[in-house]
Amino acid sequence: MASTEQDPLLLLRQSIASGGAITPTASSDVSAQEVPLSQATHLTFSTPSHISLPIDTQTRFTSNDTPVDLRSIYIAWLKREVAIPEYNASVSKLNEELGDKGQVRMLAFVERLDLITWLEGASEECEYIKPLAGDKDGSTSTAAAALASKGAAAPAIGAKLGRSGKGTLDPRLAVIYNSERKMGDRNSVLRGIKPTDFSHVRKLAAPFMSKKSQQAPPTSISNNPALATHKKPRRPDPIILLSPSASSLLRMTNIKSFLENGQYVPPNSLSASSSTGASMLHINRLMKDIDPNRPMRFILVEGPEQFKPEYWNRVVAVFTTGQSWQFKNYKWSNPSELFRHVPGIYVGWRNEKPPESVRNWGHRVVSIGIDPWKESTHNTIDSSRWRDHEIVEHIWKVIEGNMRSKGWRRDQAPTSI
């Protein structure tokens, strides 16, 4: 065991605190050149004065009640920032290089952590370091460590530590040191002297976390007012209902060509066959009095079988043939009540009168006549159907006027009609 005057642990800690050089050398000469650790026989400290100690000197640090040599302590300090596997690999490599010259003690994780914390000055106690001989309470090591941790010059090796001249700390000075406030660093605050296992806290918190997750609603824009203000709700698409009657002049097969292009073709013609079998169509129309900047998309369906209750507030027109069975599954099955909420549109031939039922429903059902269809010899659209475009514009005017009166705006739709 090293003497009190040349304790390797105190020398190492004091040199670290003061930033002094710690050099492995191949001789006891303090001016010797640095050599690789595998070839070193001594460790030279530049502060407080040049001192060289044999590198295999046993220290007061113990592992499994066995003293650990200075070389093992020094390499543990050199590898303080690396992970455990890298530290173990470095020790194994050094042992191979040393051969029969000696062996480096591989410290356990807790031992290495406790040693590094003490050497850095973050802790004044280390359970693996035995007190100095003749100083069982550890006051001598504490005094020297306190000086070293402050970066001040510790008492010279061999000099008296106190005024009593007996090699022990003066009692009055000990009182002063005991009254000092110990300042910790990140190591003592975050890690402490020993690693603490908080895994038991997870088990205690599990019931509270599961209960909170069941009660707390999912975070979304819909239930978070702070987020909802940054995203405007999307305006729903208006809906137009068509008549499913086989006698209707406008069906799913030809309604898109009629309302978008202003051209009428019979529902069973070759020109209309591309839309056969569709249960829903989309058409775009610019409603200048509602939104002059972007076209509105309209949804066209023949029946309300897939409707949700709120969909009825989006219905803007009902095409009818005058047959009341069409309204059997509607929200308002009575035609008179239906057309108080939604405008009706009857499209027939120009040279024929509307059915009596349409005339009885009053002005809320607009009757429109189109020119009779004439078959072309070359399966082309009749060039004389220029009136179709005028009729389509009239239909859209009726729909747009109703939408404005019901509350359709550029960025919103009515909540009821």
Specify the higher pLDDT residue, 128 or 208: 128
Write down the pLDDT at residue 239: 93
In this structure, which amino acid lies at residue 3? S
Q: Does residue 229 sit within a domain?
A: no
Q: What is the DSSP letter of 189?
A: I
Mean pLDDT, residues 311-322? 92
In the predicted model, is pLDDT for residue 242 greater than 50?
yes
Peptide bond before residue 48 is cis, with ω within 30 degrees of 0: yes
Q: Does residue 352 sit within a domain?
A: yes
Confidence of residue 100 (pLDDT cuts 50, 70, 90): confident
On whether both 252 and 375 belong to a single domain, the answer is yes
Specify the higher pLDDT residue, 387 or 4: 387
Chain centroid to CA 267:
54
On whether both 251 and 399 belong to a single domain, the answer is yes
On whether both 271 and 400 belong to a single domain, the answer is yes
Highest mean predicted confidence (pLDDT) among 180-189, 203-212, 300-309, 373-382: 300-309
Specify the higher pLDDT residue, 37 or 193: 37
- Looking at the chain, the whole-number percentage of residues with pLDDT higher than 70 is 75
In the predicted model, is pLDDT for residue 51 greater than 70?
yes
In the predicted model, is pLDDT for residue 277 greater than 90?
no
**Mean of the per-residue pLDDT values of the chain:** 79
Q: Does residue 413 sit within a domain?
A: no
Range of lowest pLDDT (90-94, 252-256, 349-353, 376-380) = 376-380
In the predicted model, is pLDDT for residue 56 greater than 50?
yes
On whether both 147 and 248 belong to a single domain, the answer is no
Token pair belonging to 57:
């000197």
In the predicted model, is pLDDT for residue 266 greater than 60?
yes
Write down the pLDDT at residue 178: 72
CATH of the domain at 364: 3.40.50.11990
* Long-range contacts of the stretch 263-271 (C-beta < 8 A, 24+): 263/381, 263/385, 263/388, 263/389, 264/370, 264/371, 264/373, 264/385, 264/388, 265/373, 265/381, 266/373, 270/379, 271/379, 271/381
On whether both 244 and 390 belong to a single domain, the answer is yes
Give whole-number Cα distances, 143 to 48, 110, 179, 193, in Å.
Answer: 15, 25, 12, 19
On whether both 138 and 258 belong to a single domain, the answer is no
Chain centroid to CA 42:
54
On whether both 140 and 249 belong to a single domain, the answer is no
Q: Does residue 168 sit within a domain?
A: no
On whether both 264 and 148 belong to a single domain, the answer is no
In the predicted model, is pLDDT for residue 65 greater than 60?
yes
Q: Does residue 215 sit within a domain?
A: no
On whether both 261 and 149 belong to a single domain, the answer is no
In the predicted model, is pLDDT for residue 143 greater than 60?
no
In the predicted model, is pLDDT for residue 157 greater than 60?
no
Q: Does residue 30 sit within a domain?
A: yes
Q: Does residue 18 sit within a domain?
A: yes
Mean pLDDT, residues 127-155? 55
Confidence of residue 158 (pLDDT cuts 50, 70, 90): very low
On whether both 252 and 347 belong to a single domain, the answer is yes
Those residues whose C-beta lies under 8 Å from the C-beta of residue 160, and which sit 6 or more positions away, are: 166, 167
Specify the higher pLDDT residue, 48 or 258: 258
Specify the higher pLDDT residue, 315 or 219: 315
Range of lowest pLDDT (34-38, 223-227, 234-238, 268-272) = 223-227
Q: Does residue 214 sit within a domain?
A: no
Total of domains in the chain: 2
In the predicted model, is pLDDT for residue 144 greater than 50?
no
In the predicted model, is pLDDT for residue 216 greater than 90?
no
In the predicted model, is pLDDT for residue 146 greater than 50?
no
Domain that holds residue 255: 239-406
Phi-psi map region of 109: left, alpha, beta (phi>0 left; psi -120 to 50 alpha): alpha
Write down the pLDDT at residue 120: 87
In the predicted model, is pLDDT for residue 405 greater than 70?
yes
- Looking at the chain, the whole-number percentage of residues with pLDDT higher than 90 is 27
